[in-house]
Structure 1
Amino acid sequence: MAHSGQTETAVLVAMLGERAAVNVRLALVADEQQWQLHHGQVTFEDEAPLTERVWRYSTASFLELRLPGPTVAALLRGDEQDIHGLQVVAPGPPTSSASSSRLRGQEEWGRVTTPWPRTEWTINRDSNTPQPGYDLLVGDGPSFLNFDQALSAFLYQRPHDSNAGRSDLWRIVLPQRAGWLSQITIGPDLLTAVVDGEALDGAVLELSGAADSERQSVDGAGTYRFALPNGLAHDSLLMLRHEDQSLDWRSFPALTYGRARDASVLWEQPGPELELLLANGEGKYLECKREVPEGESRKKMLKTIAAFASQDGGTVLIGVRDDLQIVGLPEKPTVDKQELQVVGMIRDSVEPAPPYKSRLIDHDGKKVLVIEVSGGGQMYAYREGQRAEFYVRVGPNTVPARHHEIAAGFRQAPTVTTF
């Protein structure tokens, strides 16, 4: 299957109809004598254990159940179904096709990562569909201030934020556990891959680059190694395959120090890490701060973080002077408190919550705080009071985004989030 495309809804209905049972999570909204589906998640699992959950309120219900495949197929087709004593119907006429995405293992999609590859189909909700209210939810389940908070807690087990809303009516997930790459470590002269899976007979592990390629037969789950006498070539591809079918893969584009890396791949680079980060100086993907900033310097850092997230990502180093001298964080307050201070700044001033990680690097006894920001595939705003501002990175400078850049950023924002 291609990385993305379209699938006829009738094909999904047939797939569900052939399954004895599937795992389902449903968010329902009361509508006169019926319950309308607000969001449904289906996972094709043959015998996966499931702990049922049922939260019932006067205006909303949330169900996690194992249901017969034909029942879910009928609901997807638009037929009213009796589910756990509730008359449930999907709003509006069924759409003719679903968007499909083929995701590799360890790939984050809307803040969710699974070790194994998966195919996901999404069907968007009609924009004219009535939205749930914002009344208090008190009933046979935890109490919530409103529907959005309940939905976030039910689906994600996390507090509601601006990323938690869903535009999709259905999300259907097919795990693909034949084989996957559970961990990859890249050193100066060796690539090590840990392979796992349920059907690895006849599989091949291939490392290919522009100049050459090497293959190894996979005789089961375990650790496999590729020698790298000249280091890892730029734009290399590691593919776990069975004949002409890809099972899992990782690509390794040319490294740009200062940008966030694939968290599923461990890099064991020669030499001190900070020296590598600073090798090319401040630029499009790297910003340095002497200490946790205040005042206008604080605003500048937060605008830069929003710009990193809106584009291709980048790194902020705190404890490094503008001339790239590593001075480390001051002793007081503690480095942990300084890290929490920065995390709080980002939480309060960048919307939606940007994809980033914070960590500390010890360099010759000096602590440096690293904020690694990933590109989020959409526009992120720096907010001050009621005003939201959008920024981009041009070389080493953070500048206001132009109207067409903002519009393009919102057009490319992903509609698939977490499950």
Structure 2
Amino acid sequence: MASSGQMEASALAVMVNERAAVNVRLALVSDAQRWQLHHGLVTLDDDAPVKERSWRYSTACFLELRLPGREVAALLRGEGHVHGLHIVCPGPLPSTASTYRLSGRQEWGRVTTPWPRTEWTLSRDTSAPHPGHGLLVGDGPSFLNFDQALSAFLHQRPHDANAGREDMWRIVLPQRAAWFPQITISPDLLTAVVEGEALDGAILELSWAAGNQSQSVDGAGTYSFALPQGLAPDSLLMLRREDQWLDWRSFPAPTYGRARDASVVWEQPGPELDVLLANGEGQHLECKQEVPQGDSRKKMLKTVAAFASRDGGTVLIGVRDDLQIVGLPEGSNVDKQELQVVDMIRDNLEPAPPYETRVIDYDGKKVLAIEVSGGGQMYAYRNGQRPEFYVRVGPNTVPARHHEIAAGFRRAPTVTAL
């Protein structure tokens, strides 16, 4: 099966109609005497319980409930009644739905599941009015605006300007035939845990540029591949049946600031650190011998802000400028030093940047990594009451220019003043 394609919207409605019941989350905006659909998330999963919720405001409504498939199919066709509300879809409905097949742990549209899934999306009419930016106060939590409420309701996460809802409908079909709940990679062994509801005839294959290994899967359990030369760059672990993939994971070289796959456990931190240091300090890497104190803190905090304002990056503490790994001071309290860094970032950067801290063990030494993701907006270092903005240019952190700051704020979420 291809990873993407198209499906007739009418056929999608028929598929939903044939379901006895589906889980659905609806985001609605008021339209005179009716409610207009802004976004619908449908999960075709008989095993997932739903906790019914209803947030109602004068201009918006958010519903989570389990409905008969025929009621949701009616909405997919343009109009229906749900929970005592008359709901219509804005503008002309698209004739086709985009189809995507995703592996387990793959995030798309802020949705991530442990197992693979197929998703269909129906785009919103571009002429449809956007919900207002006013405060939402009513029978539900209060929010600054509709977008913040939508992100909290769908994902329990803060609003992200880069995660706009261009789709009117998203239909999710979990596929638990075969999947990887966990993969462990050690210096000389890859171990994969395989689970699933239909594992007959499945093949487990590890491929890399110079070759591949494969073995039959005879049921749920643990399977291993020897790695006499370690895991090769850009390796691919595939769970398949003949020419149809069931689940997969790829293992590119570590990327600065990239979010980590929670299902993959790395037990070879030394080689990973070697890869990070291979090209030296640059656009996405800054090294510090120790946790900075006093005036030297500002330089590190400016760099964290610069990483977050662009494409992300990593600060390594316990590595000298000449890339010599010295580790954190012996006998020091690593947890306390990690907390110091967290406190520095919290007290001096606005808004809070997207980052994670972790400790890497390397030949008996401990290195503290601050992995910063690109946040899609500008992040400021607070110098007293004055915000300062920075960007990364090669190995240097420099003040952002006016046009760079303006572009960053155009990417930022819209916030309504209280």
Does the TM-score normalized on the shorter chain lie above 0.5? yes
Q: Is the counterpart of residue 335 in structure 1 residue 337 in structure 2?
A: yes
- Residue 190 (structure 2) aligns with: 191
What are the equivalent positions in structure 2 for 1:197-216 lying under 5 Å apart? 197-216=196-215
Quote the Cα distance in structure 2 between the aligned partners of 1:177 and 1:93: 35
Instruction: Give CA deviations for 1:128-168 in whole Å, capped at 9, x if unaligned.
Output: 424135134222x3444443343233222344454565332
- Residue 48 (structure 2) aligns with: 48
- Residue 283 (structure 1) aligns with: 282
Instruction: Give CA deviations for 1:360-391 in whole Å, capped at 9, x if unaligned.
Output: 346688764311245x6x85434468999684
- Residue 413 (structure 1) aligns with: none
Contact 2:6 2:96 in 1 (8 A): yes
What are the equivalent positions in structure 2 for 1:373-412 lying under 5 Å apart? 373-374=372-373, 379-383=376-380, 391=391, 394=394, 396-397=395-396
Task: Name the amino acid aligned to 1:300.
Answer: T
- Residue 307 (structure 2) aligns with: 304
Partner SS for 1:381: coil
Quote the Cα distance in structure 2 between the aligned partners of 1:294 and 1:102: 45
Q: How many residues are matched?
A: 400
Q: Is the counterpart of residue 295 in structure 1 residue 298 in structure 2?
A: yes
Shift in CA distance, 286/263, structure 1 to aligned 2, threshold 3 Å: farther
Structure 2 stretches of 5 or more lacking a match?
410-418
Partner SS for 2:339: helix
Partner SS for 2:311: helix
Contact 1:100 1:122 in 2 (8 A): yes
Partner SS for 2:350: helix
Contact 1:383 1:389 in 2 (8 A): yes
Contact 1:307 1:398 in 2 (8 A): no
Quote the Cα distance in structure 1 between the aligned partners of 2:208 and 2:57: 56
Quote the Cα distance in structure 2 between the aligned partners of 1:144 and 1:260: 28
Instruction: Give CA deviations for 1:295-321 in whole Å, capped at 9, x if unaligned.
Output: 355323421343333xxxx42113433
Quote the Cα distance in structure 1 between the aligned partners of 2:144 and 2:218: 53
- Residue 75 (structure 1) aligns with: 75
- Residue 86 (structure 2) aligns with: 87
Shift in CA distance, 268/89, structure 1 to aligned 2, threshold 3 Å: same
Task: Name the amino acid aligned to 1:113.
Answer: T
- Residue 416 (structure 2) aligns with: none
Structure 1 stretches of 5 or more lacking a match?
411-419
Residue range with higher mean Cα deviation, 314-323 or 156-165: 156-165
Note the C-alpha offset of 1:21. 1.5
Quote the Cα distance in structure 2 between the aligned partners of 1:115 and 1:409: 33
Partner SS for 1:75: helix
Shift in CA distance, 235/16, structure 1 to aligned 2, threshold 3 Å: same
Shift in CA distance, 348/409, structure 1 to aligned 2, threshold 3 Å: closer
Quote the Cα distance in structure 1 between the aligned partners of 2:347 and 2:2: 40
Residue range with higher mean Cα deviation, 319-328 or 51-60: 319-328
Shift in CA distance, 110/41, structure 1 to aligned 2, threshold 3 Å: closer
Partner SS for 1:323: coil
Q: Structure 1-normalised TM-score?
A: 0.81
- Residue 414 (structure 1) aligns with: none
Quote the Cα distance in structure 2 between the aligned partners of 1:337 and 1:104: 35
- Residue 33 (structure 1) aligns with: 33
Instruction: Give CA deviations for 1:294-347 in whole Å, capped at 9, x if unaligned.
Output: 3355323421343333xxxx4211343323343637879932431322442686
- Residue 246 (structure 1) aligns with: 245
Contact 1:57 1:138 in 2 (8 A): yes
Note the C-alpha offset of 1:237. 1.5
Shift in CA distance, 45/145, structure 1 to aligned 2, threshold 3 Å: same
Quote the Cα distance in structure 2 between the aligned partners of 1:149 and 1:166: 12
Partner SS for 1:328: coil
Contact 2:109 2:163 in 1 (8 A): no
Partner SS for 1:15: helix
Note the C-alpha offset of 1:87. 0.5
Shift in CA distance, 258/278, structure 1 to aligned 2, threshold 3 Å: farther
- Residue 415 (structure 2) aligns with: none
Quote the Cα distance in structure 2 between the aligned partners of 1:332 and 1:217: 44
Note the C-alpha offset of 1:203. 0.9
What are the equivalent positions in structure 2 for 1:326-365 lying under 5 Å apart? 326=326, 328=328, 334-344=336-346, 348-349=350-351, 354=354, 356-361=355-360
Percent identity at matched positions? 64
Note the C-alpha offset of 1:86. 0.5
Quote the Cα distance in structure 1 between the aligned partners of 2:202 and 2:53: 39
Note the C-alpha offset of 1:199. 1.0
Quote the Cα distance in structure 2 between the aligned partners of 1:358 and 1:232: 25
Quote the Cα distance in structure 2 between the aligned partners of 1:409 and 1:349: 13
Task: Name the amino acid aligned to 1:335.
Answer: Q
- Compute the RMSD of aligned alpha carbons: 3.8
Quote the Cα distance in structure 1 between the aligned partners of 2:388 and 2:17: 47
- Residue 417 (structure 1) aligns with: none
Task: Name the amino acid aligned to 1:283.
Answer: G
Contact 2:184 2:265 in 1 (8 A): yes
Instruction: Give CA deviations for 1:26-55 in whole Å, capped at 9, x if unaligned.
Output: 011121110111111001113532222222
Task: Name the amino acid aligned to 1:222.
Answer: G
